[in-house]
Chains A and B, each alone.
Chain A
Amino acid sequence: MKYLCLIYDEERKIDALSKAEMAAVMGEYNAFTQSIKGSGQWLAGHALKRVATATTVRVRAGRTTTTDGPFAETKEQLGGFYLIEARDLNEALQIAARIPSAKLGSVEVRPIEQFD
């Protein structure tokens, strides 16, 4: 099955990291990405730019409204994702737990809908 791992982090916490700490996190991410590419479970994955760069589009009654940001009052923001291939939810959760941000923020694991 395919699962999307949505990575939520507190941008404020990330900003507070020192250069050395940030480098360590990036190193962990590189190692993690390499390992799931090696095991053939990596399908896609990207980090996202800061939430301040986000724009939200809505179409209502034929009218398009464009606003800045998602105005969610949550502490954690969507910061990136991995699309992975896993045998079942248990395996997907094991992989998600290895994403470095699982220790800092949280990772939401969602199965991909297959239309047939």
Chain B
Amino acid sequence: MSEGPERPVRETVETIYRAESRRVLATLIRLLGDFDLAEEALHDAFVAAVAAWPAGLPANPRAWLVSTGRFKAIDALRRRARFGASLAARADLLASGHADAAEAGDAALADDPLRLIFTCCHPALPPDAQVALTLREVCGLTTEEIARAFLVGPPTIAQRIVRAKTKIREAGIPYAVPEAGELRERLEAVLRVVYLVFNEGYVASAGPDLTRTRLTDEAIRLARLLFELLPDAEVGGLLALLLLTEARRRARTNAAGEVVLLADQDRSLWDAPLIAEGLRLVERVLGSRPVGPYALQAAIAAVHAEASAAPLTDWPQIVALYELLLGIAPSPIVELNRAAAIAMARRAESRSSRRSSRAASWPTTARPTPLGPSCCAASGATRTRRAPTAARWN
């Protein structure tokens, strides 16, 4: 047989791996009920794909991979079963399950990536383990890549991940999207992880540029995935905040690699498409009530993004937004930023260059806030737990 057709198939498998492997993994974890077994099964399924697909690509590669992975896992359990009866029982149980129901393109399948995210970000896991597990399982980074990004040794990350998986198994952390009643609080933990991943990539003082870009990219990808699966205003707010911040990346360091403050940045270097997308999102999420801390921070970033030059910044608008933020997520950093914005607003006013506010269509204007305290009444969880603020993101 000629080698001709094999190379394209290999490339197809690689493309499908990049596009589908995390979704296939998410479904396999649900079907097999075990992270390690699912990872092995995912690997085996792709090995099988490289061998089988030259004969003809399946109509639905994702379903093929899930089904193959499941059978590989059953085989693996049966091979190991001679070491213990419980494994044999598990294999039989899996084999007897309704493959069609488990693998059909139903709602359960669509929710698998979301289940995976909520399990990795479960509050019963320590925060650093949530971050490591999310990067490993949801984003598919290797342990070495995560270690490099966080400037710790790979064994530390590996240990964090192993302990987290053990706790998931032993404590009975379910592979499930939380119920409506607890969704808000649990979502906060997920958003915090996405925020931390981005923050690590954006402000890390050391580490190679490439790994840091990887983290900001992954954070944005995660936020996009979350928003697609769960179009909540705060998810959109976080996504907008990340996009508007990422848009400034090229302008925030000079040729010598030194940090350039927002006021001194060459705004022509800002990424216009990212800003446009961020602004559209901000308009959309500010329309929903209550307005959360991420949406407000995104709105602040949007006001900056709309100023073509630093002196044209609508400071009164920023002051108003910080006041709203103080109302729902008070912190010394927000207080400080509000004070700085007030100073800037006064300076602008003394220059008496009043301009009409382009943001007047937003529900949050500088004058006595039409939103009022009641409309910003965030959930109890938001109030008691301090929301992270992007204050360090120049």
A contacts, CB < 8 Å to B: 1, 3, 86-90, 92-94, 111, 116
Contacts and interface: CB of A to CB of B under 8 A. Distances in A.
Nearest to A94: B182
Interface stretch (B62-70, B166-174, B196-204, B380-388): B166-174
Closest 10 CB pairs of A and B: A88-B174, A88-B172, A1-B172, A89-B172, A89-B173, A111-B171, A89-B171, A90-B174, A111-B172, A111-B170
Contacts of A90: 173-174, 176, 178-179, 182
B331 interface: no
Interface in B143-175: 170-174
Contact of B174 (A3, A89, A111, A116): A89
Contacts of A89: 122, 124, 171-174
11 contacts: A3-B172, A88-B172, A88-B173, A88-B174, A89-B124, A89-B171, A89-B173, A90-B173, A90-B174, A90-B179, A93-B124
A3 B173 CA distance: 12
Contacts of A3: 172
Contacts of A93: 124
Contacts of B182: 90, 94
Contacts of B15: none
Contacts of B124: 89, 93
A87 B170 contact: no
B163 to A, nearest CB: 15
B158 to A, nearest CB: 24
Chain B binding surface SS class: loop
A87 to B, nearest CB: 7
A87 B176 CA distance: 12
Nearest to A116: B86
A1 B172 CA distance: 7
Interface string B106-146: 00000000000000001010000000000000000000000
A48 B179 CA distance: 34
Contacts of B178: 90
B171 A87 contact: no
A87 B171 CA distance: 11
Nearest to A92: B172
Nearest to A111: B171
Interface in B170-212: 170-174, 176, 178-179, 182
Nearest to B122: A89
A81 B182 CA distance: 24
A38 B176 CA distance: 26
Contacts of A88: 172-174, 176
A89 B174 CA distance: 7
A89 B172 CA distance: 5
Contacts of A87: 174
Given A89-B172, A90-B176, 6 more contacts: A87-B174, A89-B124, A90-B174, A92-B172, A111-B171, A111-B172
